[in-house]
Amino acid sequence: MRVLVSDNLSPVGVKVLEEAGLVVDVNTGLEPAELKKIIGAYDGLVIRSATKVTADLLEAADKLKVIGRAGIGLDNVDIPAASERGIVVMNAPDGNAVTTAEHAISMMLALSRNIPQATASMKAGKWEKKKFMGREVTGKTLGIIGIGRIGSIAASRAQGLRMKTIAYDPHMPVEMAEKIGIELVSLEDLAKRSDYITVHVPKTKETANLISHEFFANMKNDAMFIDCARGGVCDEKALFHALTDQVIGGAALDVFATEPTSHENCPLLNLDNFICTPHLGASTSEAQEGVALIIAEQVSDYLLRGSVTNAVNVPSVSSEVLAQVGPFITLGEMLGSMHMQISKGGIKEINVEFSGELADMNTSPVTVAFLRGLFTPILKDAVNYVNAPVIARDRGIRVVESKTDQAGDFTNALSVKVTTSEGENTLVGTVFGKKEPRLVRLNSFRLEAQPTGPMLLVFNKDVPGVIGALGTVLGESGVNISRMTVGREEESNQNIILLSTDQLISKELLTTVQSLKHISAAQGLDLNGF
């Protein structure tokens, strides 16, 4: 079997592939047309961030069985297109955690002691000792936005420097944060209390431009901001004004909304109180050797033995089990994603119930799929079918499974109740025919909806005119409705309306919808990829 390495990969990884008995071609820097011309000859493809694995490229990949990303991010891979062609997509989600956290701490120290500016000054022939007065970090407060794997490591390093650590993470239970010595606070309180702030969240619909003008306005005048996570989480225009207007003391970025970036599209580069690096968070020899070794072992194990590890689009199950519960694996992941998007507060417990004929099957892959779907909206590519249960355990989430041969109105049913610090929600789903997932209950509302694509969830009073007004507002905004399902709660005279739309609902449009008469709440859902 042949494997193509199309991006720069540590020789350690190439050696592992070759020693496994695979034929390895290292061919980097290919133009898309060149890559498409040769991809048909390969069974495996190993990439980093440069290669763009598009649907067009995959059409020419007749033999391709696996794509391995030496790292975490998979923005450059069309995962649905790969799934349609039966191509397994793998990554190495934990390989860069330590080095990225250490880079954030390094940026904090460099900011504190003006190291880049002083270096540039000396190289220019100057000796400006008084100009670059620094500050100590001991005793200061580090605010961490997102305390997943990387954020937790950053916290431990800061605690080693005798810093106080606080964090904003709406999905982390308070008890788990306290175990690692972190105080959970609101985003506003974090901005007001921190001397340094570091970001460790992926870019999602919820985190895009999370760090805004308002956020910087709440920071201390001498506080410093660091982002080594993902470009686009910080509004760079807002950061520019915060620095030029001396709203905050300084900032350091390793990631940018547009990469590569330059003086033309990033005026931050012209500021003296701003330091930066060209996305070096994962760029250490140890990290690159680590992810190369991990992905090489995973790719060779799959091609030679059929063993699936850290796959983001297929669970590690036999073909027999997949044939039995495959559609419910998809349903479980859909319900997980939906649960996370409608839940508020840190998740404490998950109760998964399998009913009907499903109770007699091997349902553990369905639970894993639910957990992957649950964490994907907040962790994106850092969660897969292998580490999802570990993430649940590390966050102190109790997962309870039960089975019953009574499925009510359906041959099979999957019911999941998620309990958080602020309440609970229950979703029930089933599969129509052989592979058509359906949502049939949301809390006390019964309905029949296909949970896929962009959606709009509306809670309203059951009176005439609501659906018409809603359709008018969406139509005037150019949003097409492809499907609509209405569920009713008889006792309270309340409805829910679940709409499938051709695009994600903007924040501005959502505000307009929420202002309509007789509508009590509305929420956009993103179930793309299903």
The domain limits of the chain are 1-94+282-309, 97-276, 315-443, 452-530
pLDDT score for 273? 95
Residue type, 511: T
Note the CATH number of domain 1-94+282-309.
3.40.50.720
For residue 394, what pLDDT band results from cuts at 50, 70 and 90? confident
Has 476 been annotated as catalytic?
Answer: no
- Interval 150-173: pLDDT, tens: 999 999 999 999 999 999 999 888
CATH superfamily entry for domain 97-276: NAD(P)-binding Rossmann-like Domain (3.40.50.720)
- Arithmetic mean of pLDDT over the chain: 93
pLDDT score for 333? 94
- Interval 475-490: pLDDT, tens: 999 999 999 999 887 6
Q: Which token pair is 525? A: 């859902």
- Phi and psi (nearest 5°) for 394? -65, -25
Partnered with residue 191 across adjacent β-strands are: none
The residues, any chain, with a CB within 8 Å of residue 93's CB and separated by 6 or more, are 72, 149, 310, 381, 382, 383, 384, 387
For residue 220, what pLDDT band results from cuts at 50, 70 and 90? very high
Per the model's pLDDT, the better-predicted residue between 410 and 20 turns out to be: 20
Per the model's pLDDT, the better-predicted residue between 83 and 135 turns out to be: 135
Q: Which H or E element spans position 333?
A: helix 319-342
Q: Which token pair is 405? A: 């041969």
Q: Is 1-94+282-309's fold the same as 97-276's?
A: yes
- Catalytic pick from 48, 157, 279, 339? 279
pLDDT score for 406? 78
- Catalytic pick from 34, 206, 259, 436? 259
Q: Are 315 and 369 in contact (CB under 8 A)?
A: yes
Whole-number Å distance between alpha carbons of 32 and 389: 37
CATH architecture for segment(s) 452-530: 2-Layer Sandwich (3.30)
CATH superfamily entry for domain 315-443: D-3-phosphoglycerate dehydrogenase; domain 3 (3.30.1330.90)
Residue type, 123: K
pLDDT score for 295? 96
Could you tell me the pTM of the whole model?
A: 0.81
For residue 227, what pLDDT band results from cuts at 50, 70 and 90? very high
pLDDT score for 104? 98
- Catalytic pick from 48, 69, 149, 230? 230
Q: Which of 384, 382, 94, 96 is nearest to 228 (CA)?
A: 96
Cβ-count burial 258-290 (b if 16+ within 10 Å, e if not) = eeebeeeebebeeeebbbbbebbbbebeebbbb
For residue 319, what pLDDT band results from cuts at 50, 70 and 90? low
Has 206 been annotated as catalytic?
Answer: no
Q: Is the pLDDT of residue 321 over 90?
A: no
Other CB atoms within 10 A of residue 518 CB:
14
For residue 315, what pLDDT band results from cuts at 50, 70 and 90? confident
Q: Are 306 and 496 in contact (CB under 8 A)?
A: no
- Interval 110-157: pLDDT, tens: 999 999 999 999 999 999 999 999 999 999 999 999 999 999 999 999
- Interval 405-444: pLDDT, tens: 876 778 889 999 999 999 999 999 999 877 889 999 999 9
Alpha carbon separation from 381 to 36, 231, 449, 494 (Å, rounded): 25, 15, 27, 37
Has 19 been annotated as catalytic?
Answer: no
User: In this structure, what DSSP letter does residue 407 have?
Assistant: -
pLDDT score for 407? 67
Mean pLDDT of 361-369: 91
pLDDT score for 77? 95
Please tell me whether residue 112 adopts helix, strand or coil conformation. helix
